[in-house]
Structure 1
């Protein structure tokens, strides 16, 4: 499989929004009228912020392995048979923050405290090898 670029995101706690007034948790100075303004500020000023919350509980190894199998299932379900399409592939995975961080923690490129959203990008020739390492399966992309 030629996976030139993929994006994996986790959007946890969509119903848990920051209460008014909207203040940047990273700057501790800026206040915004609405959540959209706060998110725009995060995107422009803190676009490389990738430190997850410190109070995320760790999971037992068997739960992590089960989640890896679930991720493989989601990926195989998303990709068509005889997958040869190159370009960006976006895969959204419904999971808890602790599940996402336990698997993708070292590869998180962006974390948005406002939306509690983690994003990982896997690009280039090393994308397949990186995903094989993350999922602990060299045959992860085969159907």
Structure 2
């Protein structure tokens, strides 16, 4: 059994503006640019293979996967602090079995490193909250309430600016 470390971190991107004379193709999930449609299709086919389980991975019972999701939501909530000095980029490690990680994030895995056995999932944009709400089975995974109607939350999309903020990377 391989034990992976689950790491969630917000990642800020510097936008890349392509020149007008050349057309680029972009992966909607990881925002990687490709010069040709063939390059993008090749990338998408590789990503599809990452989401097919390897034969060595155990199939875990649904109760174990749901318990892991609940534990993950709890860890996210403990990272959301009340005071503003705790705001900003957050990162934490959460050890888990590879089978457990794959059981939860299957279908969302966008990168796999065979050398060290690490996976990456990207969540960003307007639908990131709904994707993670469905994935974690908890509509309040991204916010925590305090006394006096105060709350802290994970910010992945700025509705006022219609702009992507940090993307949530699960490794």
Question: TM-score band, normalised by the shorter chain?
Answer: 0.5 to 0.7
CA distance in structure 2 between the partners assigned to 1:76 and 1:93 by the alignment: 13
Q: Which residue in the other structure is 1:66 paired with? A: 67
Offset of 1:62 from its aligned partner? 0.9
Q: Which residue in the other structure is 2:4 paired with? A: 12
Structure whose residues are more often strand by fraction: 2
**What TM-score do the two structures reach when normalised by structure 1?**
0.58
- Of structures 1 and 2, the larger Rg is shown by 2
Higher RCO (CA < 8 A, seq sep 6+): 1
- Alignment root-mean-square deviation, CA: 2.9
Q: Which residue in the other structure is 2:81 paired with? A: 80
Post-superposition, which runs of at least 4 consecutive aligned residues in structure 1 deviate over 2 A? 48-54, 78-83, 88-93
CA distance in structure 2 between the partners assigned to 1:134 and 1:82 by the alignment: 28
Aligned residues: 100
Q: Match of 2:81, SS?
A: coil
Q: Which residue in the other structure is 1:141 paired with? A: 142
Q: Match of 2:60, SS?
A: coil
Task: Give structure 2 stretches of 5+ with no counterpart.
Answer: 6-42, 145-171
Q: Match of 1:72, SS?
A: helix
**What TM-score do the two structures reach when normalised by structure 2?**
0.50
Q: Which residue in the other structure is 1:93 paired with? A: 94
Offset of 1:82 from its aligned partner? 7.7
CA distance 1:112–1:123, shift in 2 (3 Å): same
